[in-house]
A and B are shown apart, each in its own frame.
Chain A
Amino acid sequence: MATATREATRAPAAPAAGARRASRRARPATGSHQRTLVSSVTLNSRRGKIIYRVVLALVIVVFTLAFIGPMYFLFTSGLKSTQEAIATPPTLYPHHPVPGTYSAAWSHLDVARMMGNTLYYAFGALVFQLVFDIAAAYSLSKLRPFLGNAVLFGMLATLMIPVTVLVVPQYVTVADLPILHVNLIGTPEAIWLPSVANAFNIYLLKRFFDSIPSDYIDAAQVDGASRLRILWNIVLPISRPIIAVVSIFSLVAVWKDFLWPLLVEFGYSPTRETLNVGIWQGVIGTPPNLLIAASAIAAVPTIAFFLIFQRNIMAGLTAGGIRG
């Protein structure tokens, strides 16, 4: 994690030469920092230094307590026995650690199945979104078909309508697709296909494709390359950064979704439950230590994913504009 953290610090501030950075970062408040609210001059004064140190220490302590504190209990409460987990007053650390709680939680709540389901839904949705949304954005940006602008407007207009509001008609529609009369409830497609209707993906991808000079594409066209070939060999390699952002957001969205998988998967059969739904379902009738242990296991993949991709995630948050 140490290297990852250092990488993130470097991000937008000073593009200083690598060799010098280490020595600069060692001293507080030097010129390498962009001018912000408080100037480096003020900070370098005697009084400024003292105040800065106190504030820094306070911030680190308070933030660690506020954000790592709950995580600490997430991981240690799962090591307690049921008796200790519901003891009054609560213990601050497991006095008699029972690592077996984790394996008990794993089998009792069938975490493996929940995790398998979640991964299956998330990566399936990712594939569908990448294939259909990239193709659509490419078409809207570079091929500009008849009625393309009307379609784009219709897609972007859906950003104005919050998803939770539509949950009932969406459910009814998925249960009996118009024209086709297919019932998708209980199938993974009930999550995969609606995830494609994501106007934010289309917007991000189209905006990026728009910035690719058409000279490249024209040249390839003269050489006789097909549309698909141009997309595959020219557009996609250039667009790797934005595809990374879209992929991360789409994985996280499915991973965090609750109401929709609750309705279309869990509502069909408890064996289709996702992690989110399964943990909620476990609230009734599961001893708290098992439930917390299962939650901790459920949290591990996302935490690992975040620490690995944190630079892309944080860049995506701002590069992708604002999203609530």
Chain B
Amino acid sequence: MGKVARAQRTASAWAFLIGAVLCFSFFSWFPIVREVIMSFQKPVYGGGNTWAGLANYVRIFHDPTFWQAWRNTLEFTILALVVGYAVPFFVAILLNELRHARGYLRVLVYLPVMLPPATALVLFSYFYNPQYGLFDRLLHAVGLPVSQWVLTPGDGFFSIAMISVVIASTWMNMGSATLIYLAALQNIPGELYEAAELEGANLFQRIRHVTIPQTRLVLVMLLMLQVVATMQMFIESFVLTNGGGGVDNNTQSVVMLIYQYAFAMSGASNYNSASALGVVLMLVLAVFSGGFLWATRERG
């Protein structure tokens, strides 16, 4: 092949590629670099930016809301793990055992995932309403004390307010994890259960020694993805508390704080503090994912 022909080949291959490459450059690669740059800069009166060293980082570390947002986000992540991680797995095991209504149940579980999230959350905030909400009515009906739900004051580590956020979030999101588990369960060879039963393993031993090891890869991947996703919690608290972050910010999350630093603070919005917080979150998630993948790697 001649030089000209090869150049032509490369050019036409790049013609196919260039649209996506431009979009990645403008909207993904450049913003990643820019976030780091912006986090070390400050605006100058009259336009432009100048270097600020670590000033943005120092400022956000001195903001009490910063620590509160991190603590809340961690609280949400842990609660969502307790509820949102275990529940879909056991639901999937249960659905996989049923010989009837499987299609119906799968559709049910996945239906909320398809709703526009604001719709589902508006519905939940209607249920949570302390004056006319349905959930207080249910508590009342079974003789339990009524609750303020998301608006409950107090900022203990497992506050009622945050648990309410987690309930809504789990209802909205558990469908996809359930279906992914279900697919993984269907790939387990039946002979393994057969053999385990012949060896005298009871139901729980079969779950422990067949189901869990056989779905380990999916369990591990979803655990990581779920932690990364829940650390970015935003819309749940944003809609349920109307953008406010709850009573005394007790459901304020890190991404909500990024939003508030950048777009909602009174006076001049400060993109630079928001970028610094973004960099911190990016680092935390990267360290977590990297460490997690390292800790759970297949040992040969």
Residues of A within 8 A of B (CB): 1, 4-9, 12-13, 28-29, 33-39, 43, 52, 55-56, 59-60, 63-64, 66-68, 70-71, 73-74, 77, 85-90, 131-133, 135-136, 138-140, 143-146, 148, 151, 154-155, 158, 160-162, 164-174, 177-178, 193-194, 196-197, 202, 227, 231, 252, 255-256, 258-259, 263, 267, 275-277, 279-280, 282-284, 288, 291-292, 295-296, 298-299, 302-303, 305-307, 310, 313-314, 317-318, 322-324
Contacts and interface: CB of A to CB of B under 8 A. Distances in A.
A205 to B, nearest CB: 10
B99 A28 contact: yes
Q: Is the interface of B mostly helix, strand, loop or mixed?
A: helix
Most buried by A among B23, B38, B117: B23
A103 B208 CA distance: 54
Given A165-B232, A196-B20, A302 B34 contact: no
Given A158-B32, A173-B27, A177-B26, 19 more contacts: A5-B103, A7-B103, A36-B190, A70-B123, A77-B126, A88-B132, A90-B133, A90-B137, A135-B19, A143-B13, A145-B14, A145-B17, A148-B13, A151-B21, A172-B38, A258-B235, A280-B238, A292-B126, A305-B114
B285 interface: yes
Interface in B6-27: 9-10, 12-14, 16-17, 19-21, 23-24, 26-27
B176 A317 contact: yes
Contact of B30 (A8, A162, A165, A178): A178
A87 B132 contact: yes
A88 B131 contact: yes
Interface string B201-227: 001001100110000001001100110
B252 interface: no
30 contacts: A28-B99, A36-B190, A64-B108, A67-B111, A87-B132, A136-B17, A139-B14, A146-B10, A148-B17, A158-B24, A165-B285, A166-B31, A169-B278, A170-B31, A172-B271, A194-B27, A196-B24, A197-B24, A258-B234, A280-B121, A283-B125, A291-B126, A299-B115, A302-B116, A310-B107, A313-B110, A317-B176, A317-B180, A318-B180, A323-B225
Contact of A9 (B103, B121, B211): B103
Given A67-B109, A90-B137, A37 B206 contact: yes
A252 B115 CA distance: 9
Given A158-B32, A299-B115, A35 B17 contact: no
A36 to B, nearest CB: 5
Interface string B87-110: 000000111111111111111111
Contacts, number: 327
Interface residues of B, number: 108
B239 to A, nearest CB: 5
Nearest to A69: B134
